């Protein structure tokens, strides 16, 4: 706002300002008009409406794509939640695969319907993954990342070796969902619950502690907070989200097998987060909505798809660490203009 | 039977050691966890293959060229990718992992799949060690494994660059004040680690085909050994290689080859529960980890 | 809301350190150090660079496992942590190398500490408005209330404010013993002068303080006793003036005048 424009010789510079609404703190807004309310609501409501419309109007093939996009968005949210709490996971496939297998096992061996396997696999997957990772909760950064990278790959080999749960064949002929629309709306509902629910948690004082652990875990410990408890809780939330995604896919494909532990399910969430922007949960979800349909369009390229992912991953991580979401948000909440600066 | 298992366990351990040394070397010196490691390993294999079959070079020349090019590629990887996100551990890991993935899947896309992608054996002989027949390639692995370990030991103690390596490994800031160009040493360390990967690839790959998936296995094996041994500790890597190597061979003989992975996983879990810093992880790293 | 926790009577031993040692490979960073801290006193810990002061703080607060020795707080064994338990029992510490949450606004840094179960317990189960309490605490350590600094991301705060933030985060726990690791280092004379009254006020309230410090002049004005470390060993302990008169202390500091 400090534009001194009196002198003759004038240089110009870009100035970046916040838009009208005065933000007093994180959550208390002084809303003065419908326009301001709309300004705040629109970015939240628009995606919800758009997704519902797309789901209803798109051709059937793209409806399927939309469903798997939503599932990957859930995985990306799961990744971001763990990463925001100081646990960078290179093996999201672990959460996905454990959830997928749990649902498959309960359906195949116990004959439970999707209405039961989904919630049970979500909770059970959360618990199992948390317990599996408990020994490495003390590790940070790459140490944790390394362990999570090898865990799903090893589980894959173990299933192959022990031939449990159908071995390399997997379990097929599982119960499908009653109606395709069910599928669409279930994934969507899950996405919005996970996104808005977890975002709310991260914005609370509890979330502050999680972010604190990511930033500086020793300072959190010195504040008499048992970081391992908080990390385990965050891990449970992340794992449950990922396990739901896996359990859903099991019933959607009516099949579960070793590929659920494949690298794809680990890479895509990370790539989504890198493209969308870390640390907001919404960014990675947005990233998934960019990457998955893009990869569908690139289907003709076959194996080159993963190469393109990988390159995007590197380019965004190294060159554009901000990500799409932060960029859009900045454009939305701030505006830029040229001001003249007297010399 | 037992004798054979022991000898093949030994050879398997040396193979693990060869694979893990390079990764550990880079990490120990510059703190860069090079997740493109497996991709560099496979790249070296394909480069040698191209040199041999497409360009018709003699084996030794194709091999040397492969090692050199791999090392240069790794140096470039450090300069143009890792350096830009240096210090942001997450980004370092993701970026190197992404590069590795791109390389490996590009090979797959370009059609480098099949039984014709093999490297010939280097020594055409067979020896009998205590009644067990060992072929020339496995003998080469043993010799090169011993040679590389010895070289690493001599190099870090008796050359200028090697001593700079050790200075940086201990304390980067102090090293800076001693007039060591840490940036350059880090580049060299990444290249050096990649050269180790390339040599390992050249001696190990003739045992089978050059397969893209092998790149992922190599990375997983290197990580497993380093976690158990304690990242950055050469002694730890040696001990861990032999522990996991023998354990794997014994399970393969008395149970089934597919159980080998289970053994590595168990070893890692047990070690992490008992000693989070790995067998020989130094105090400084433990500090990092609490 | 921010008054200190109820304190036991003065002169009772609140923190006891017995035979504490820490070896890093070949280096013995802390070598068989024993001392007691009485309720309500301010104990200064001094020593040349690298003499093991920070290591001693890490050992007491549970951030490092001692090689040998014991630490007890109010008769309870707290040797080797874990740090959050030590803090839960009322022993708070600042870091010499400041450790703020860089991504969070300044006052949210304090809110994290206010989230701890200890605070809830002392407040009788009610948390109250953490944001408001955090801002009160920041004002107490010298942040200007309602100024831009309080809402600013910690990553853009000047060093002086980060040091105050460290202190505020400790005070949020309403500790019984406060360990300050070189709180004054890197601060200007004016900044130190403005922090000294804050510490004096804590002393009046009956807080027990261990102050690791390099700024001897300021320390000696407020310390009841000082303890001198050299090469990890305790070489002297007592009233500041007497301790500084000892030749071996002068030797350790000035590097001259040889051994004992
Ligand atoms: N984590 C560690 N690993 C190895 N050596 C350490 C470690 N921490 C401290 N030291 C060594 O212990 C000695 C004491 O250090 P420190 O306690 O930081 O001293 P001060 O705080 O008095 O300056 C120094 O020689 C230092 O190099
Ligand atoms: Mg110190």
Using an 8 Å CB-CB cutoff, list chain C residues near A222.
61, 63, 83-84, 87, 92-93, 95, 99, 169-170
Assigned token pair, A244: 């739901």
How large is the average pLDDT for residues A328-341? 73
**Residue A145 falls within a domain, yes or no?**
yes
Residue ranges of E strands in chain A:
10-18, 171-172, 255-256, 334-342
In this structure, the residue with its CA closest to atom 21 of ligand 1 is: C54
The pLDDT value given to residue A256: 93
Listed range (B111-115, C112-116, C117-121, C137-141) with the worst mean pLDDT: B111-115
**Residue A266 falls within a domain, yes or no?**
yes
The residue among B152 and C84 whose pLDDT is bigger is: C84
The pLDDT value given to residue C9: 62
Assigned token pair, A297: 């369009």
Whether A332 contacts A39, CB under 8 Å: no
Chain A, chain B: beta-carbon pairs less than 8 Å apart: 125
- In terms of average pLDDT, the best of A115-129, A299-313, B211-225 is A115-129
Query: Omega of the bond prior to C82 within 30 degrees of 0, cis?
Result: yes
The residue among A136 and C73 whose pLDDT is bigger is: C73
Residue A20 belongs to what domain range? 2-334
The pLDDT value given to residue A20: 56
Whether C39 contacts C12, CB under 8 Å: yes
B196: which residues sit within 8 A by CB, 6+ positions away?
A: B18, B21, B22, B25, B148
Q: Do C61 and A222 touch (CB under 8 A)?
A: yes
Listed range (A27-36, C36-45, C182-191, C251-260) with the worst mean pLDDT: C251-260
- The per-residue pLDDT of chain C, averaged, comes to 87
In this structure, the residue with its CA closest to atom 7 of ligand 1 is: C24
In this structure, the residue with its CA closest to atom 2 of ligand 1 is: B284
- What does the domain layout of chain C look like in residue ranges? 11-90+175-260, 100-174
Tell me chain B's radius of gyration from C-alpha atoms: 19
Q: Do C24 and B290 touch (CB under 8 A)?
A: no
Whether A273 contacts A284, CB under 8 Å: yes
**Residue B280 falls within a domain, yes or no?**
no
**Residue B75 falls within a domain, yes or no?**
yes
Listed range (A176-185, C7-16, C68-77) with the worst mean pLDDT: C7-16
3-state SS class at A328: helix
Cα–Cα dist B156/A221, whole Å = 38
The predicted complex's ipTM stands at 0.87
Pick from B24, B237, B217: nearest CA to A149: B217
How large is the average pLDDT for residues C173-184? 92
Q: Residue A188: which region, alpha, beta or left (left: phi > 0; alpha: psi -120 to 50)?
A: alpha
How large is the average pLDDT for residues A49-73? 86
pTM above 0.80, yes or no: yes
Evaluate if residue A1 carries a pLDDT over 50. Answer: no
| pLDDT confidence band for C5 (50 / 70 / 90) | low
The residue among A194 and A19 whose pLDDT is bigger is: A194
**Residue A341 falls within a domain, yes or no?**
no
DSSP state of A23: B
CATH of the domain at A12: 1.10.3470
Nearest CB neighbour to A145, from listed B93, B106, B224: B93
A159: which residues sit within 8 A by CB, 6+ positions away?
A: A165, A167, A168, A258, A261
Q: Using DSSP bridges, classify how beta strands C13-24 and C68-73 pair: parallel, antiparallel or unpaired.
A: antiparallel
- Give the number of C-alpha atoms closer than 13 A to the C-alpha of residue C155, restricted to the C-beta side: 5
Residue from A94, A141, A279, A310 to probe the interface with B (highest B Cβ count within 10 Å): A310
Cα–Cα dist C104/C112, whole Å = 10
In this structure, the residue with its CA closest to atom 14 of ligand 1 is: C52
Cα–Cα dist A305/A310, whole Å = 9
The pLDDT value given to residue B36: 93
Pick from B286, A224, B156, A246: nearest CA to C81: A224
**Residue B217 falls within a domain, yes or no?**
no
| B40-89 pLDDT per residue, tens | 999 999 999 999 888 988 888 999 999 999 999 999 999 999 988 887 77
**Residue B83 falls within a domain, yes or no?**
yes
B159: which residues sit within 8 A by CB, 6+ positions away?
A: none
Percentage of the residues of chain A whose pLDDT score is greater than 70 = 88
b/e for C65-86, b at 16 or more Cβ within 10 A?
ebeebebbbbeeebbbbbbbeb
Q: Which residues pair with C211 in a beta bridge?
A: C44, C180
| pLDDT confidence band for A140 (50 / 70 / 90) | low
Whether B104 contacts B38, CB under 8 Å: yes
Residue B97 belongs to what domain range? 12-211
Nearest residue of chain B to residue C63 (CA atoms): B290
Please choose from C22, C24, C31 the residue to mutate so as to test ligand 1's pocket, defined by most ligand atoms within 8 A of CB. Answer: C24
| B97-121 pLDDT per residue, tens | 899 999 999 998 888 887 778 887 7
Evaluate if residue A24 carries a pLDDT over 50. Answer: no
| pLDDT confidence band for A17 (50 / 70 / 90) | low
**Residue B204 falls within a domain, yes or no?**
yes
Cα–Cα dist A170/A103, whole Å = 13
How large is the average pLDDT for residues C77-94? 91
The pLDDT value given to residue A198: 95
Percentage of the residues of chain A whose pLDDT score is greater than 90 = 40
Assigned token pair, B282: 């130094």
Q: Do B258 and A263 touch (CB under 8 A)?
A: no
- Number of domains composing chain B: 1
Cα–Cα dist A222/C181, whole Å = 13
Which backbone phi and psi does B127 adopt, to 5 degrees? -125, 160
Q: Is A88 on the interface with B (CB under 8 A)?
A: yes
- In terms of average pLDDT, the best of A3-12, A28-37, B124-133 is B124-133
Whether B236 contacts B247, CB under 8 Å: no
How large is the average pLDDT for residues C190-208? 91
Whether A183 contacts C54, CB under 8 Å: no
Evaluate if residue C21 carries a pLDDT over 80. Answer: yes
Listed range (A214-218, B58-62, B267-271, C132-136) with the worst mean pLDDT: B267-271
Evaluate if residue A5 carries a pLDDT over 60. Answer: no
**Residue B21 falls within a domain, yes or no?**
yes
Q: How would you write the pLDDT of chain B (290 residues) with one tens digit per residue?
A: 688 888 889 999 999 999 999 998 888 888 888 999 999 999 999 999 999 888 988 888 999 999 999 999 999 999 999 988 887 777 888 899 899 999 999 998 888 887 778 887 777 777 777 777 888 888 888 888 899 888 888 877 777 777 777 666 666 666 666 666 778 888 988 999 999 999 999 999 888 888 888 898 899 889 889 888 887 778 888 999 999 999 888 888 888 777 777 777 778 778 877 777 777 765 444 443 33
Listed range (A128-132, A237-241, C22-26, C109-113) with the worst mean pLDDT: C22-26
Nearest CB neighbour to A311, from listed B102, B223, B289: B102
Q: Do B220 and A153 touch (CB under 8 A)?
A: yes
Q: Is the CB of C27 under 6 A from ligand 1?
A: yes
Cα–Cα dist A253/A233, whole Å = 30
**Residue A149 falls within a domain, yes or no?**
yes
CA-C182 nearest atom, ligand 1: 21
The pLDDT value given to residue B177: 66
Mark out the alpha helices in B121-233 (DSSP H runs).
136-158, 160-170, 172-177, 182-204, 212-229
The pLDDT value given to residue B171: 64
Cα–Cα dist B128/B149, whole Å = 24
> Would you identify the CATH topology of the domain C11-90+175-260?
Rossmann fold (3.40.50)
Helices B260-274/B212-229 angle, 10° precision: 30
CA distances from A268 to A124, A288, B216 (A): 23, 8, 17
């Amino acid at each position: 706002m400090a534009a001194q424009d009196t002198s003759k010789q004038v240089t110009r510079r870009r100035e970046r300002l916040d838009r009208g609404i005065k933000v007093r703190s994180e959550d208390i807004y002084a809303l003065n008009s419908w326009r301001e309310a709309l300004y705040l609501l629109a970015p939240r409501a628009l995606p919800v409406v758009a997704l519902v419309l797309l789901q209803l109007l798109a051709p059937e093939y793209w409806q399927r794509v939309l469903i798997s996009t939503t599932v990957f968005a859930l995985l990306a949210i799961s990744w971001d939640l763990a990463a925001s709490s100081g646990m960078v996971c290179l093996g999201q496939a672990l959460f996905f695969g454990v959830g997928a297998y749990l649902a498959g096992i309960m359906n195949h061996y116990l004959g439970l319907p999707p209405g039961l396997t989904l919630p049970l696999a979500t909770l059970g997957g959360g618990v199992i993954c948390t317990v599996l990772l408990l020994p490495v909760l003390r590790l940070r950064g790459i140490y944790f990342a390394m362990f999570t990278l090898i865990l799903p790959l090893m589980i894959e080999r173990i299933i192959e070796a022990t031939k449990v749960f159908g071995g390399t064949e997997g379990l097929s002929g599982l119960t499908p969902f009653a109606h395709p629309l069910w599928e669409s709306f279930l994934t969507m509902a899950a996405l919005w619950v996970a996104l808005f629910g977890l975002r709310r948690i991260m914005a609370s004082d509890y979330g502050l502690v999680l972010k604190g652990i990511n930033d500086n875990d020793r300072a959190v410990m010195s504040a008499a907070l048992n970081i391992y408890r908080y990390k385990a809780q965050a891990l449970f939330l992340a794992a449950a989200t990922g396990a739901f995604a896996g359990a859903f896919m099991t019933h959607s494909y009516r099949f579960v097998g070793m590929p659920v532990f494949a690298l794809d399910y680990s890479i895509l969430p990370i790539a989504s987060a890198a493209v969308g922007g870390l640390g907001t949960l919404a960014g990675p979800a947005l990233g998934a909505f960019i990457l998955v349909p893009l990869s569908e369009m690139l289907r003709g390229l076959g194996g080159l798809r993963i190469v393109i992912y990988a390159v995007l991953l590197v380019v965004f991580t190294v060159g554009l660490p901000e990500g799409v979401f932060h960029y859009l948000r900045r454009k939305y909440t701030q505006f830029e203009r040229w001001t003249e600066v007297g010399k | 039977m037992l004798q054979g298992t022991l000898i093949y366990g030994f050879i398997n351990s040396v193979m693990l050691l060869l694979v893990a040394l390079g990764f550990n070397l880079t990490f120990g010196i510059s703190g860069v966890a090079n997740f493109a490691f497996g991709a560099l390993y496979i790249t070296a294999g394909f480069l040698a293959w191209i040199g041999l079959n497409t360009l018709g070079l003699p084996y030794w020349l194709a091999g040397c060229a492969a090692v050199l090019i791999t090392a240069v590629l790794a140096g470039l990887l450090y300069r143009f990718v890792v350096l830009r996100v240096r210090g942001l551990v997450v980004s370092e890991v993701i970026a190197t992992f992404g590069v590795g993935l791109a390389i490996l899947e590009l090979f797959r896309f370009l059609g480098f799949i099949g039984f014709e992608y093999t490297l010939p054996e280097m020594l055409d002989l067979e020896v009998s060690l205590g009644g067990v027949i060992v072929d020339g390639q496995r003998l080469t692995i043993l010799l090169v494994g011993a040679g590389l370990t010895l070289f690493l030991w001599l190099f870090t103690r008796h050359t200028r660059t090697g001593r700079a390596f050790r200075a940086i490994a201990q304390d980067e800031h102090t090293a800076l004040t001693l007039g060591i160009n840490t940036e350059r040493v880090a580049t060299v360390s990444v290249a050096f680690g990649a050269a180790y990967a390339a040599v390992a690839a050249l001696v190990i790959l003739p045992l089978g085909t050059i397969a893209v998936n092998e790149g992922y296995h190599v990375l997983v094996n290197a990580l497993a050994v380093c976690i158990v041994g304690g990242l950055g500790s050469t002694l730890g890597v040696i001990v861990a290689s032999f522990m996991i190597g023998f354990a794997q061979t014994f399970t393969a003989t008395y149970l089934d080859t597919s159980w080998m992975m289970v053994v590595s996983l168990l070893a890692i879990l047990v070690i992490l529960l008992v000693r989070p810093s790995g067998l020989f992880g130094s105090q400084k790293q433990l500090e990092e980890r609490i | 809301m921010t008054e200190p926790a109820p304190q036991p009577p003065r002169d009772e031993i609140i923190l006891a350190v017995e035979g504490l040692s820490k070896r890093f490979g070949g280096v013995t960073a802390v070598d068989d150090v024993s001392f007691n801290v009485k309720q309500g006193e301010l104990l200064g810990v001094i020593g040349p660079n690298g003499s093991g002061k920070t290591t001693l703080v890490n050992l007491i607060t549970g951030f490092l496992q001692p090689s040998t020795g014991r630490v007890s707080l109010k008769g309870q064994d707290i040797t080797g942590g874990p740090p959050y338990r030590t803090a839960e029992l009322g022993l708070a510490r600042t870091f010499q190398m400041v450790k703020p949450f860089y991504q969070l606004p300044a006052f949210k840094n304090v809110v994290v500490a206010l989230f701890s179960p200890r605070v809830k317990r002392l407040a009788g189960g009610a948390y109250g408005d953490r944001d408001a309490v955090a801002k009160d605490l920041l004002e107490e350590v010298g942040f200007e209330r309602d100024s831009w600094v309080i809402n600013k991301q910690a990553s853009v705060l000047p060093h002086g404010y980060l040091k105050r933030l460290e202190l505020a985060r400790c005070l949020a726990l309403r500790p019984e013993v406060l360990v300050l690791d070189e709180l004054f280092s890197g601060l200007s004379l004016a900044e130190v002068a403005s922090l000294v009254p804050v510490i004096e006020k804590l002393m009046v309230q009956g807080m027990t303080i261990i102050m690791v410090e390099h700024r001897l002049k300021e320390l000696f004005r407020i310390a009841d006793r000082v303890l001198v470390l050299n090469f990890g060993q305790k070489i002297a302990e007592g009233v500041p003036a007497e301790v500084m008169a000892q030749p071996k202390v002068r030797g350790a500091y000035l590097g001259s005048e040889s051994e004992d």
